[in-house]
């Protein structure tokens, strides 16, 4: 009797979850669903022997993982070649036509801007989900994927084995809600929905992922046993019947011209869609023809992704305000009437410096065109001068810093104005944020909001003060409980073990970036040795320029800076450089240039991998460059590499090289 009731409730809840999350056609209220779910949970707890592995209660999760296991993809999760014009799409079509001696058709789909994952089913039951990773190896994120209600835990047919590929995303509306909630709690905002989806899926605590309103569209069958298909379109239709939320509005077109017309139509739909897309995908529909066309080591020859240009929107510039950076650099920022650009609400845009404002002839009150550089950083492209009314006004840089009241100066030969105040609170705030940032000391939990909270409470005045914080001090602050205080203190303690290169970068010495920090750490070994160098010996280091050497030398001549370093040393912060234990010479003598964006690694992490394996990284492409590692949205460096005949590696090919 109990078994039958559990089975009926499971079927009832799975049916209505599919109606709500996949079909968007609910038949019962949220309250009715929640009450049925609670009843099922109670019955399963009392009789665990009758619990279905695909029970809806599996989605009620909260365990914290220690880390993610690696998953080897039996079918490679490849990336797509990009096209940016009609001509490039037609060139792709010519290559297809020359390889196929018969008629063919194209499927055209939205290119969802999210995070690619694999879902695996055995006998119709979901048992594993993983990220794309490098295409061959990903991470097991099964528990987090189970929190996505549009992923069926049990298929309507017990297929022996099925692996599908999909794109996890957050809708535009849910992204706005998520960022609004983070703003209220003082957490840093996500840059865009894709960034939010990727961060959410890699949460070690699945309860956090469950709160992030993740969704998914399935767009491909990777492998299927017990079922065969003739076309891609047929396969997706079958998946929809099985309960999957497949990529919507897909069609089949008999020529590249027809397919490209649909691509342009999708471009016009882009703004009105409830989710972000960054292009459209053209795919050969017949699966046997895909076999004939085959693939390269990283991309199929039967598909191409048409990438849309950066979205541009018009809005009003209502004011210009100043932001003081960690080196005293003052950056004008445009305050805009809120506008949706590339999936998020934009209210501010950088204006860089006064030269930029004058060059663009930007006035307060102008109607301006805004886009996101690289779909991340808002910038003003141009001014709609024809819409001026005469009420607009010119912006002038003030004589004194808005944060500390000290004089503002523009050093000779520089484009930026700077605050001359040595105790400017804004500079201190930015310096502390930089010190704790991921590429510096990597103190998790010490974001801008927490830094501001600690400085306003008078608990920290310099980076050294971080290492004197106590649990008692933290728990007395708003939004700090015992656990969050312990976590922050543990992260601060862990940061003491960072390499000298990170410590140097964290100090925020002007013009001294991550690359020069590593070069200096390698050359001199210890902080003490470095502090005793002359400007000439610093300049003698290959790739350290005269200006960088000058600023590094001047930094260590400052008594206040020396006192800070001594305090950090007394607090237990490491002041020595250590070589990676797993260092190799596989890339010895090879010079690399890195360009574009990578899905799982940052540019800095790719740089570290090159150097850890004995290679060198340069900033520009020349005939002496051995390889260019190119990610998505690679620009002029990729073009130059191709013109010079320099070998270009996808990130997967580079990782194979150092395995």
Nearest to 302 by CA among 256, 235, 370: 256
Does residue 22 have a pLDDT over 70? Answer: no
Q: Would 65 be classed as within a structural domain? A: no
pLDDT of residue 374 exceeding 90, the answer is no
Mean pLDDT of 261-276: 91
Contacts of 451 (CB under 8 A, 6+ apart): 429, 432, 433, 436, 460
User: pLDDT band at residue 138, thresholds of 50, 70 and 90?
Assistant: confident
Question: Where residue 180 falls among pLDDT bands split at 50, 70, 90?
Answer: confident
HSE at residue 586, side-chain half, CA atoms within 13 A, is 14
Average pLDDT over residues 505-512: 91
Residue 126 in this model has a pLDDT that exceeds 50? yes
At 181, list the tokens: 């909630």
Residue 277 domain-assigned? yes
Note whether 173 and 81 are same-domain residues: yes
206 vs 217: CA distance, rounded Å: 20
The verdict on 333 and 455 lying in the same domain is no
Share of the chain above pLDDT 90, in %: 50
Q: Is 57 helix (H, G, I), strand (E, B) or coil?
A: helix
Q: Which of 287, 307, 327 is the last residue of a domain?
A: 307
CA–CA separation, 86 vs 473, rounded Å? 61
pLDDT confidence of residue 176 = 85
Distance CA(318)–CA(356), nearest Å, equals 18
Whether 506 and 614 map to the same domain: the answer is no
Read off the pLDDT of each residue in 537-558 and give the average, rounded to a whole number: 91
* Torsions phi, psi for 311 (to 5 deg): -70, 135
- The CATH number linked to 46 is 1.10.287.610
pLDDT digit string, tens, across residues 274-283 = 998 989 999 9
In 296-416, the DSSP E strands lie at: 303-307, 312-324, 329-341, 344-350, 367-373, 377-383, 408-409
**What pLDDT score was predicted for residue 92?**
95
pLDDT beyond 80 at 647: yes
Contact 462, 428 (CB under 8 A): yes
Q: Are residues 316 and 280 in the same domain?
A: no
Are 45 and 79 found together in one domain? no
Predicted local confidence at residue 655, as pLDDT: 87
Same domain, 201 and 242: yes
The alpha carbon of residue 152 and the mean position of all alpha carbons in its chain are separated, in whole angstroms, by 27
State residue 58's pLDDT score.
Answer: 62
Give a yes or no: residue 585 inside a domain: no
User: Domain holding 373: CATH number?
Assistant: 2.40.50.140
**Do 147 and 263 lie in a common domain?**
yes
Q: Which of 41, 51, 111, 372 is the catalytic position?
A: 111
Structural domain includes residue 599: yes
SS3 362: coil
Domains of the chain: total: 5
Which stretch, 25-34, 494-503, 644-653, has highest mean pLDDT?
A: 494-503
pLDDT > 50? residue 438: yes
Which pLDDT value is given to residue 63? Answer: 47
- Overall average pLDDT of the 97-120 stretch: 94
DSSP 308: P
Report how far residue 571's alpha carbon sits from residue 588's, in angstroms, rounded to the nearest whole number: 37
**pTM listed for this prediction:** 0.57
Question: Do both 173 and 236 map to the same domain?
Answer: yes
Contact status, residue 634 vs residue 596, Cβ threshold 8 Å: yes
Highest mean pLDDT among 14-18, 186-190, 224-228, 297-301 belongs to 224-228
Residue 8 falls inside a structural domain: yes
Phi, psi of 501 (to 5 degrees): -60, -40
pLDDT at 26: 67
Of 16-20, 535-539, 541-545, the range with the lowest mean pLDDT is: 16-20
Which residue among 501, 536, 570 closes a domain? Answer: 570
**Active site includes 111?**
yes
Residue for token digits 């879902």? 119
CB-based contact 403:424 (threshold 8 Å): yes
190-200 tens-digit pLDDT: 777 887 888 78
Residues 493, 360, single domain; the answer is: no
Partners of 286 in the β-ladder? 231
Whole-angstrom distance between the N-terminal and C-terminal Cα of the chain?
57
State yes or no: pLDDT of 611 exceeds 90. Answer: no
pLDDT in tens, 52-65: 776 777 665 444 44
What integer pLDDT is reported at residue 509 of this predicted model? Answer: 92
CATH code of 114's domain: 3.30.470.30
What pLDDT is attached to residue 332?
Answer: 94
> Residue 375: pLDDT above 80?
no
Tell me, yes or no, whether 264 and 135 share the same domain. yes
CA atoms lying within 13 Å on the CB side of residue 171: 11
Confidence grade of residue 24 (pLDDT, cut at 50, 70, 90): low
Q: Residue 654 belongs to a domain with what CATH number? A: 3.40.50.10190
**Whole-number pLDDT of residue 408:** 93
In 351-427, DSSP assigns E strands to 367-373, 377-383, 408-409, 417-419
Which whole number is the average pLDDT over 347-367? 93
* Cα gap 366→317, rounded to integer Å: 6
pLDDT interval class at 31 (50, 70, 90) = low
Asked if residue 575 belongs to a domain, the reply is no
- What tens digit of pLDDT does each residue of 312-337 get? 889 999 999 999 988 889 999 999 99
Specify the pLDDT at position 221.
95
Q: What is the pLDDT of residue 23?
A: 63
Q: Which residue shows structure tokens 């039996």?
A: 74
In a domain, 583, yes or no: no
Domain that holds residue 410: 312-417
- How confident is the model at residue 568, as a pLDDT? 96
- The stretch 617-645 carries a mean pLDDT of 84
pLDDT of residue 639: 79
Predicted local confidence at residue 64, as pLDDT: 43
How many residues are present in the chain? 659
CATH no. for residue 532? Answer: 1.10.150.20
**Same structural domain for residues 432 and 522?**
yes
Tell me, yes or no, whether 578 lies in a domain: no
118 and 38 share one domain: no
From the number of C-beta atoms within 10 Å of its C-beta (0-12, 13-18, 19+), residue 647 rates as: exposed
Per-residue pLDDT at 570 exceeds 70:
yes
pLDDT, averaged across the chain: 87
Answer with the one of 398, 417, 436 that is the final residue of a domain.
Answer: 417
């Amino acid at each position: 009797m109990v078994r039958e009731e559990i089975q009926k409730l499971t079927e009832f809840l799975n049916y209505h979850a599919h109606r709500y999350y996949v079909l968007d056609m609910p038949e019962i209220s949220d309250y009715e669903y929640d009450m049925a779910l609670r009843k099922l949970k109670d019955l399963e707890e009392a009789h665990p022997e009758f619990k279905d592995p695909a029970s809806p209660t599996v989605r009620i999760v909260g365990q914290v993982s220690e880390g993610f296991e690696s998953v080897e993809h039996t079918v490679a999760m490849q990336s797509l070649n990009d096209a940016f014009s009609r001509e490039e799409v037609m060139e792709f079509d010519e290559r297809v036509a020359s390889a196929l001696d018969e008629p063919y058709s194209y499927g055209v789909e939205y290119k969802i801007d999210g995070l690619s994952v694999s879902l695996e089913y055995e006998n119709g039951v979901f048992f594993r989900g993983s990220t794309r990773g490098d295409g061959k190896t990903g991470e097991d994120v099964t528990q987090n994927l189970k929190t996505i209600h549009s992923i069926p835990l049990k298929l309507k047919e017990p297929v022996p084995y099925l692996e599908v590929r999909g794109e996890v995303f957050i809708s535009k509306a849910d992204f706005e809600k998520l960022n609004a909630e983070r703003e209220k709690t003082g957490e840093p905002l996500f840059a865009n929905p894709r960034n939010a989806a990727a961060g959410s899926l890699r949460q070690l605590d699945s309860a956090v992922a469950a709160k992030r309103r993740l969704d998914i569209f399935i767009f491909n069958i990777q492998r299927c046993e017990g079922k065969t298909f003739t076309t891609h379109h047929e396969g997706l239709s079958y998946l929809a019947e099985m309960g999957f939320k497949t990529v919507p509005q897909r069609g089949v077109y008999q020529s590249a011209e027809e397919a490209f017309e649909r691509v342009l139509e999708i471009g016009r739909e882009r703004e009105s869609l409830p989710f972000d897309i960054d292009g459209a995908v053209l795919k050969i529909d017949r699966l046997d023809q895909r076999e004939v066309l085959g693939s390269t080591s990283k991309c199929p020859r039967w598909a191409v992704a048409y990438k849309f240009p950066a979205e541009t929107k018009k809005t009003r510039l209502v004011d210009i305000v100043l932001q003081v950076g960690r080196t005293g650099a003052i950056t004008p920022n445009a305050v805009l009437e809120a506008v949706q650009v590339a999936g998020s609400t934009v209210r501010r845009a950088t204006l860089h410096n006064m030269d930029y404002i004058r060059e663009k002839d930007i006035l307060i009150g102008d109607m301006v065109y805004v886009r996101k550089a690289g779909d991340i950083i808002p910038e003003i492209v141009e001014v709609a001068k024809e819409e001026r009314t005469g009420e607009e006004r010119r912006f002038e840089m003030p004589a004194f810093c808005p944060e500390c009241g000290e004089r503002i100066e523009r050093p000779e030969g520089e484009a930026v104005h700077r605050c001359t105040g040595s105790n400017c609170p804004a500079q201190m705030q930015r310096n502390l944020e930089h010190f704790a940032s991921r590429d510096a000391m990597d103190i998790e939990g010490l974001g801008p909001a927490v830094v501001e909270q600690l400085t306003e409470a008078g608990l920290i005045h310099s980076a050294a003060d971080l290492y004197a914080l106590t649990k008692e001090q933290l728990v007395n602050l708003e939004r700090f409980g015992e656990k969050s205080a312990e976590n922050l203190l543990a992260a601060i303690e862990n940061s003491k073990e960072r390499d000298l290169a990170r410590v140097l970068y964290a100090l925020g010495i002007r013009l001294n970036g991550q690359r020069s920090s590593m070069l200096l750490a390698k050359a001199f070994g210890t902080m003490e040795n470095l502090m005793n160098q002359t400007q000439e010996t610093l300049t003698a280091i290959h790739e350290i320029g005269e200006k960088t050497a000058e600023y590094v030398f001047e930094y260590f001549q400052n008594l206040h800076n020396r006192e800070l370093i001594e305090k950090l040393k007394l607090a237990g912060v490491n002041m020595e450089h250590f070589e990676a234990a797993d260092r190799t010479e596989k890339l010895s003598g090879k010079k690399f240039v890195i360009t574009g964006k990578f899905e799982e690694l940052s540019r800095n992490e790719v740089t570290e991998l090159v150097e850890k394996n004995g290679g060198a990284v340069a900033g520009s492409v020349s005939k002496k460059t051995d390889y260019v590692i190119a990610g998505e949205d690679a620009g002029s460096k990729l073009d130059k590499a191709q013109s010079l005949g320099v070998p270009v590696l996808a990130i997967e090919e580079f990782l194979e090289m150092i395995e």
